[in-house]
Amino acid sequence: MTTSSFLLRNVTVVDGTGAAPVPGQALVVEGRRIAWIGPEDQAPGVAPESVVDGGGGTVLPGLINCHVHLTANGAPDLFAQAAGDTVPLATLRAADSAWTTLHSGVTTVRDCGAADDIVIELAKAIDRGLVPGPRVQAAGRVITMTGGHGHFIGREADGPDEVRKATRAEIKAGAAVIKVMATGGVLTPGVSPTQTALLPEELAVVAQEAHNSGRRVTTHAIGRAGIHNALLAGIDSVEHGFYFDDELLDIAIDQGTFLVPTMLAVDGIVRNGLAAGIPGWVVDKAEAEAQQQRVSFAAAVASGLRIAAGTDAGTPFNGHGQMAQELALMVQHGLSPMQTLVAATSSAAANLGLAHEIGTLEVGKLADLVVVDGDPVADITATGRVVLVAKDGVVQRNELADTGAAVPTAA
């Protein structure tokens, strides 16, 4: 891949901080980083062939999806897909998912669980330029109890000593973040979403080992007891969080914990149901929890809990590249469009421990950019009308090519 300088003009800047949109702006990229942002009429001179006309669209930081499963593709039966996959097939699917994700405007993802170190290795391949894709923070195998949720993509462990060893094994394998299961889930047969899984002392060991190694740790947690156990253990973010209440929200806010609500995961199952080939036991569990998810999310929004966007892409009828649909659901159920954009940019970057490099449009930060047709602050669905994507200063998608500008693109 190649990078060089270019100037993006004729755009409104939404910088990811929550600040009001600023029209009539321009932005200069030099190499991998943003070199200048300001009024278009004050932009530094660049060669005409390096000017990109944004067509009056809105430029945002590259979007960040804090919860994906790149080895899955939204098939009706995720459990059967994972059980039947060969490593080569799952690897090819993950690479395809990564390409789709990047071209949708998502330049960074956190993969929250995959078997066989596939996504850990995919992240390396993307970093080395072997295949196109977003920046990937991979959890590797999830840490779960014997027979627990996600055991088919996990390391099963029981008791603090086994759990400690399992966490260290994932760190050794190259996991950039640790994912642990505090409750049961919808997509694993034989478990209830609200049942308590790993115990507080087991979760505390996971958090300790992750933090000792400089990594953050997130937890799948649906039921109240599991969320509480995870908060007591010092987990950094909670995925799904269907049973947050006022007491748990107070604890989470005090600790700076993030919620990644993954609205699309349940929505995809409930909207499609049995007729689409989703196993009945999956549909039953999703339908039983759908209303509680919405109630909990609304309470989290009202409380001011830090929320980071994530879709749980790969679950049934929840394919990759659907971040715009997730953001629309977040607006529908309580967040303002601007709050939702922050959840998908600066808050998501903070949740991944990457706020020093990405998540906002600032001079010196990595040039992860997405230009959309329209004003996403007025209409969040504009995030689905992507016309340009750049990651690390390299343009990966350009629907503005008819402007005549020659811009750096992925080789």
**Tens-digit pLDDT profile for residues 213-258:** 999 999 999 999 999 999 999 999 999 999 999 999 999 999 999 9
Spell out, as residue ranges, where the chain has pLDDT lower than 50: 1-3, 404-406, 408, 411
* CA-CA-CA-CA torsion sign (217, 258, 227, 279): negative
Pairing of strands 154-156, 394-398: unpaired
Q: How far apart are CA 383 and CA 379, in angstroms?
A: 8
Could you give the angle at the alpha carbon of 347 between the alpha carbons of 266 and 300, nearest 5°?
A: 50
Q: How far is CA 128 from CA 1, 131, 175, 206, in A?
A: 10, 8, 17, 30
For the residues of 50-71, what is the DSSP string, one character each?
GEEE-TT-EEEEPEEEEEE-TT
Look up the pTM and report it. 0.96
| Per-residue confidence (pLDDT) for residue 2, from 0 to 100 | 45
The residues near 161 (Cβ < 8 Å, ≥ 6 apart) are: none
Nearest residue to 224 (alpha-carbon basis) of 150, 302, 296, 311? 296
